Amino acid sequence: MKFSGYPDPGDLVVGEVDEIEDFGVFVDLEEYENKRGLVHVSEVASGWIKNLRDHVNTGQIVVCKVLDVDESSEQIDLSIKDVNDHQRSDRIQEWKAEQKAEKWMELAFGEDLTDEKYAEVANAFLDGFGTLYDGFEQAAIHGPEAFASTDLSDEDVETIVETARENVSVPYVKVTGYVDLRAPGPEGVEDIRDALEAAEGNGEVPDEVELDVTYVGAPEYRVRVQAPNYKTAESELEHSVARAREAIEAVGGSADFHRERRSDDE
């Protein structure tokens, strides 16, 4: 998606080097419609520059910092040297992610992707998630629930979620904990089995979470959780152990949670 307005001073923008002159470099801004900026020779690199082509080439993708904008004269002053390696890498990754999201929009709506439809969906993504890519990522992780607060139709949401789950590689994290379960009396084995079923969630674990409870060695059980982020993973791990504890303590047993293994068995 290309913006129709101008960037603000201080913004980091992605552009393609279009023309190299003795006094500086002209850059076409990739994310803005018909916008071109100038990197003065003094802003290309630190120190004295003998030949600009030792630092940039025509057609090269660069990340620039916006120094000044004069809309009346359509002049945008840029700097390449004021962008550090970390900023450059992050901004390029963000730009490439948005390019992917653009293609997913086309895949999702095909010939139905009119300018009006694009604007409707894009605005919903930007308002709700900040970027198109983040919108598709949340669709892949959370499904239709991610769009509960938007005005998009159910049909559009279904199309977006289907496309997202076919194309987006969702980052996941894993956390592991251990719980020792003990239950007294002749029904102890059944009581522990019930506590393990409770730990597994009884079908109430969110769709984006994978939770697995396995036997390590009496009385120890491993709880592994895979989720989109650490906050969710840790929360689901705590809920799992809490469910097991509640179930086992209800029959007079005990549950002891720990992070490291205590059993010698693998």
Model pLDDT for residues 51-64, shown as the tens digit of each residue: 999 999 999 999 99
Rounded-to-integer distance, Cα 41 and Cα 39, Å: 6
User: What single letter denotes the amino acid at residue 98?
Assistant: E
Rounded-to-integer distance, Cα 99 and Cα 84, Å: 23
Identify the CATH number of the domain in which residue 211 sits: 3.30.70.1130
Say if 4 falls within a structural domain: no
Say if 5 falls within a structural domain: no
Rounded-to-integer distance, Cα 103 and Cα 126, Å: 16
Determine the average pLDDT of the residues in 22-46.
Answer: 94
> CB-based contacts of 22: which residues, under 8 Å, 6+ apart?
41, 52
Are 78 and 27 in contact, with CB atoms under 8 Å apart?
yes
If one counts the domains in the chain, the total is: 3
Residue 174 has pLDDT above 80, yes or no: yes
Neighbours of 260 (CB within 10 A): 7
DSSP category for residue 45: S
Structure confidence at residue 231 (pLDDT):
84
Structure confidence at residue 58 (pLDDT):
95
Judge if 192 and 149 occupy the same domain: no
Judge if 184 and 231 occupy the same domain: yes
pLDDT, averaged across the chain: 91
Judge if 180 and 235 occupy the same domain: yes
Say if 2 falls within a structural domain: no
Neighbours of 66 (CB within 10 A): 20
Rounded-to-integer distance, Cα 127 and Cα 11, Å: 19
Determine the average pLDDT of the residues in 165-170.
Answer: 86
Q: Give the residue from 113, 133, 167 where a domain finishes.
A: 167
Say if 117 falls within a structural domain: yes
User: What single letter denotes the amino acid at residue 256?
Assistant: D
Q: Which two tokens stand for residue 170?
A: 């969702």
Say if 186 falls within a structural domain: yes
Neighbours of 77 (CB within 10 A): 18
Which residue shows structure tokens 């390696």? 85
Are 247 and 187 in contact, with CB atoms under 8 Å apart?
no
Of all helices (H) and strands (E), which one includes residue 149? none
Q: Which two tokens stand for residue 161?
A: 């979620």
Rounded-to-integer distance, Cα 175 and Cα 172, Å: 10
What confidence tier does 263 reach under pLDDT thresholds 50, 70, 90?
low
DSSP, collapsed to helix, strand or coil, labels residue 32 as strand
- Size of the chain, expressed as the number of residues it contains: 266
Structure confidence at residue 1 (pLDDT):
63
Lowest mean pLDDT among 147-161, 194-208, 237-251: 194-208
Judge if 98 and 68 occupy the same domain: no
Q: Give the residue from 142, 167, 192 where a domain finishes.
A: 167
Model pLDDT for residues 222-248, shown as the tens digit of each residue: 999 998 887 888 899 999 999 999 999
Are 38 and 92 in contact, with CB atoms under 8 Å apart?
no
Q: Which two tokens stand for residue 239?
A: 């809920």
Rounded-to-integer distance, Cα 134 and Cα 136, Å: 5
The DSSP bridge partners found for residue 210 are 226
- The domain of 240 spans 173-258
Rounded-to-integer distance, Cα 67 and Cα 11, Å: 8
Q: Give the residue from 121, 140, 167 where a domain finishes.
A: 167
Say if 265 falls within a structural domain: no
Determine the average pLDDT of the residues in 97-106.
Answer: 94
